[in-house]
Amino acid sequence: MNIKEKTRKELEEKVEALENLIARRGVGSDYLEKAERIQRDLNIALVLGTTTVILGITALAVYKFKGE
C-alpha cells in the first residue's frame, strides 16, 4: 500500500469517526435516536401484525376445509 492510499484510508476513518461522534452527540441526536426507536417499534409491530393475520387466515382456511 503506498503512502497516498494509506493517507486516504486514515482520513476516511477519521471523517467517519467524526461523523459518528456528531450523530451521537450533535444537534438533533436526541431526535434522531427517538425517530430510530419509533421506526424499530413500528417495524416490529408490522411484522407481528402481518404474522397474526397470516396465521388467522390459515387457521380459518383449515377450519373451513376440515368442516366440509
What tens digit of pLDDT does each residue of 19-67 get?
888 877 877 778 888 999 999 999 999 999 999 999 999 999 999 888 6
pLDDT reading at 68 higher than 70: no
pLDDT reading at 18 higher than 80: yes
Question: Dihedral, CA atoms, 40, 41, 47, 49, nearest 10 degrees?
Answer: -160
Integer distance in angstroms from the first to the last C-alpha of the chain? 73
Report the distance separating Cα 2 and Cα 13, nearest Å: 17
| Residue 20: per-residue pLDDT | 85
Please tell me what DSSP assigns to residue 26: S
Read off the pLDDT of residues 1-16 as tens digits, 9 standing for 90 and up. 688 888 999 999 999 9
Number of domains in the chain: 1
**Cell digits for 2?**
503506498
| Residue 48: per-residue pLDDT | 97
Parent domain of 36: 3-67
